[in-house]
Amino acid sequence: MSEKFLEIKDLAVTYETDEENVNAVNSISFSLNKGETLGIVGETGAGKTTTALSIMQLLPKEVGKIKNGSIIFNDENLLEKNSHYLRQIRGEKISMIFQDPMTSLNPVLTVGEQIGEALELHNKAKKENINQRVGEIMELVGIPAARKSEYPHQFSGGMKQRVVIAIALACEPELIIADEPTTALDVTIQAQVLDLMDELKNTLNTSMIMITHDLGIVAQTCDKVAIMYAGEIIESGTLEDIFSEGNHHPYTVGLFNSIPKLNDKKTRLEPIDGLMPDPTNLPKGCKFHPRCLHCMKKCKMEEPKVYKKGTKTIRCHLYDN
Amino acid sequence: MSQPLIQTKNLKKYFNTSKGLLHAVDNVNLSINKGKTLGVVGESGCGKSTLGRVVLRLLDATEGEVLYKGDNILEYGKKDMKELKKKLQIIFQDPYASLNPRMTVAQIIEEVFIVNKGIISKKQMRNRTKELMETVGLANRLINAYPHELDGGRRQRIGVARALALEPDFIVCDEPVSALDVSIQAQILNLMMDLQEEKNLTYMFITHDLSVVKHISNEIAVMYLGQCVEKVSSDELFQNPLHPYTKALLSAIPIPELGAKNRKRDIIEGEITSPINPKPGCRFSARCKYSTSKCSANDIPLKEVSKGHYVACVLY
């Protein structure tokens, strides 16, 4: 079961503009096995979405440049493929669920047409069968098939996100990249959508990359976790590695301490002081050192190496031998 | 019993729409004591922001009373109201939209003194602004910065400074941390709690995030479609939620702990129904699994089931 089918090595992405270069992703590596869910966690500007867009190669043209690295999907390096080939992969093998269901649907097409479009482009069904297949997919995500001739504005936020999920699932892809799929939704609707995604993932044995800033969602849906900060993966491991006691990156600790806990008595939170560094001008050495409580001399000079133990990796000088 | 600082009595706000009357706030009775925080939770469209605005008279109430130290402020004239508004302030949700992009930090804060003439002289204004900036943790060098130069957390600090400028008693905080990242969110929450302690402020804290509200509130009111369905002290709400909606809301929160996957959750089906011309009876009954014929017969009033624990449900 555990065949590696997505492997990303040393990926680096820069946004080049006339004024400055934004180093959005700096040499990250991770891999994903079949049927697994990887959670990528981080705050605004950590490079989560950029990572997702590079896998799909949907980075803004002219500006977004992949500087280095490889993205191996089913033994093929996607970075070496031409755009025609990639268009076949997108939507059929890898599909994406975007954050905001309010803006990711076309307002002038019915939802049935939008789901059918994916099938038509990838020749997944004969013309005469498309209609029926669309109905089936809609039922699968919990929308009555009778609503296929309605337009997106007639749907509520939760229902729109179901449509987006239906489009993503239409061709039964091997990998789904979900970029903050529930951030725009209310908690009770979020619970419904997460449950649905979990169920579908299990029945179809799809792998998933779940991008989120919410550690609660990670605990509920993911098998593996990677925590990003300033374009780097600073800690990764299985769900147990990250959520249980033991050695952690100081940023991970800070992140957990920043969340108000439901079962805690009212006390002060312990936030991380300061702000995320400016990606056009990253600090030398460890990128977290200006905010770190354990900052040492070495941290300001040298970039930390990756410390490995079992399934867990931490990028921090604290764990140097 | 001391008199509550802010109290609402049968407060209603209806909006006229082409489809009928939209019951945004319907018969809400709340009270907040000085120096305390009332959390108002609910999902989008439950009327929590409207409630905050009606309490401050930013929107006119349809019916009911809002009492400030026992006086009904809905009967105040323009002049009295202007005086009173110095005591009642608001912090808005989105620090990206609530600051004028063409004004500097100093101008934004000083505008408060220009609008309310005679509080301090022009000469003192700059000093007071610097003081306020220090109180909320904004570096003095940012005094001539424009909002676009600042990140979300710093922008929200301007919002807090602006609300504090006139030394109010009462601040409505309308989702003040929802637009911020967790580490920044924690900084702002700490700041607000420190200020409360220091200045004995009273907050009405409106949010959809239950873990935040638990952290900051003394008492919590849960709203559903314009009505308050449960009202109780913060600790009690989390230990012993009674209303089926509150229970569902609590179990819907993803908990950042191992074992969260196996947690049994009761997920409520369906979506919030329309607040336009709602049927009598419990508004949650369409989604409630305990719903019986009794639920839709009459309106269900908030009832005290144990000391200080109010719930509007036929089960109790």
| Confidence band of A264 (pLDDT split at 50, 70, 90) | low
pLDDT at B209: 87
Cβ neighbours of B183 in A, within 8 Å: 43, 254-255, 258, 271-272
A262 has a pLDDT exceeding 80: no
Assess B153–A contact: CB distance below 8 Å, yes or no: yes
Best interface-test mutation with B: which of A258, A265, A273 has the largest number of B CBs within 10 A?
Answer: A258
Q: What is the spatial distance between Cα B186 and Cα A259, in angstroms, rounded to a whole number?
A: 7
A82 has a pLDDT exceeding 70: yes
B30 has a pLDDT exceeding 70: yes
Q: What is the spatial distance between Cα A178 and Cα A197, in angstroms, rounded to a whole number?
A: 10
A2 has a pLDDT exceeding 60: no
Q: From B43, which residue of chain A is nearest by alpha-carbon distance?
A: A186
Task: Provide the shortest C-alpha distance from residue A296 to chain B (in Å).
Answer: 22
pLDDT at A316: 92
| Confidence band of A116 (pLDDT split at 50, 70, 90) | very high
For residues B237-257, average pLDDT:
89
B58 has a pLDDT exceeding 90: yes
Q: Would the CB atoms of B271 and A156 count as touching at under 8 Å?
A: yes
Assess B182–A contact: CB distance below 8 Å, yes or no: yes
Task: Provide the shortest C-alpha distance from residue A302 to chain B (in Å).
Answer: 25
B1 has a pLDDT exceeding 60: no
Least confident of A68-77, A119-128, A169-178, B143-152: A119-128
Task: Provide the shortest C-alpha distance from residue B305 to chain A (in Å).
Answer: 24
Best interface-test mutation with B: which of A220, A252, A263 has the largest number of B CBs within 10 A?
Answer: A220
| Confidence band of A1 (pLDDT split at 50, 70, 90) | very low
Best interface-test mutation with B: which of A43, A161, A187 has the largest number of B CBs within 10 A?
Answer: A187
Q: How many CA atoms lie within 13 A of B249 on its CB side?
A: 27
Q: State in words which class domain B6-87+166-311 has.
A: alpha beta
For residues B276-284, average pLDDT:
86
Assess B255–A contact: CB distance below 8 Å, yes or no: yes
pLDDT at B100: 94
Cβ neighbours of A258 in B, within 8 Å: 182-183, 185-186
Q: Would the CB atoms of A191 and B182 count as touching at under 8 Å?
A: no
pLDDT (tens digit, 9 = 90+) per residue, A89-115? 998 899 999 888 888 899 999 999 999
**Domain edges within chain B:** 6-87+166-311
Q: Would the CB atoms of B258 and A219 count as touching at under 8 Å?
A: yes
B254 has a pLDDT exceeding 90: no
Of B134, B136, B140, B110, residue with least CA distance to B124: B110
Cβ neighbours of A222 in B, within 8 Å: none
On whether the CB atoms of residues A6 and A72 are closer than 8 A, the answer is yes
Nearest residue, CB atoms, B190 vs list A158, A192, A269: A269
Q: Would the CB atoms of A271 and B186 count as touching at under 8 Å?
A: yes
Token pair in block for residue B212: 């935040």
**Confidence (pTM):** 0.85
Q: Would the CB atoms of B44 and A221 count as touching at under 8 Å?
A: no
Assess B268–A contact: CB distance below 8 Å, yes or no: yes
Q: Would the CB atoms of A188 and B248 count as touching at under 8 Å?
A: yes
Mean pLDDT of chain A: 89
* A268-272, long-range: CB < 8 A, 24+ apart: A268/B190, A268/B193, A269/B186, A269/B189, A269/B190, A269/B215, A270/B186, A271/B183, A271/B184, A271/B185, A271/B186, A271/B187, A271/B190, A272/B183, A272/B186
Q: From A270, which residue of chain B is nearest by alpha-carbon distance?
A: B186
Inter-axis angle of helices A250-258 and B182-199, nearest 10: 50
pLDDT (tens digit, 9 = 90+) per residue, B126-178? 999 999 999 998 988 899 999 998 888 899 999 999 999 999 999 999 999 88
* Domains with residue ranges and CATH for chain A: 4-93+173-319 (3.40.50.300)
A319 has a pLDDT exceeding 50: yes
On whether the CB atoms of residues B224 and B42 are closer than 8 A, the answer is yes
Q: Would the CB atoms of A269 and B215 count as touching at under 8 Å?
A: yes
Query: What percent of chain A lies above the pLDDT cut of 90?
Result: 49
| Confidence band of A272 (pLDDT split at 50, 70, 90) | confident
- Residue B2 or residue B182, greater confidence: B182
Q: From B213, which residue of chain A is nearest by alpha-carbon distance?
A: A260
Q: Would the CB atoms of A254 and B183 count as touching at under 8 Å?
A: yes
For residues A15-35, average pLDDT:
90
Task: Provide the shortest C-alpha distance from residue B120 to chain A (in Å).
Answer: 33
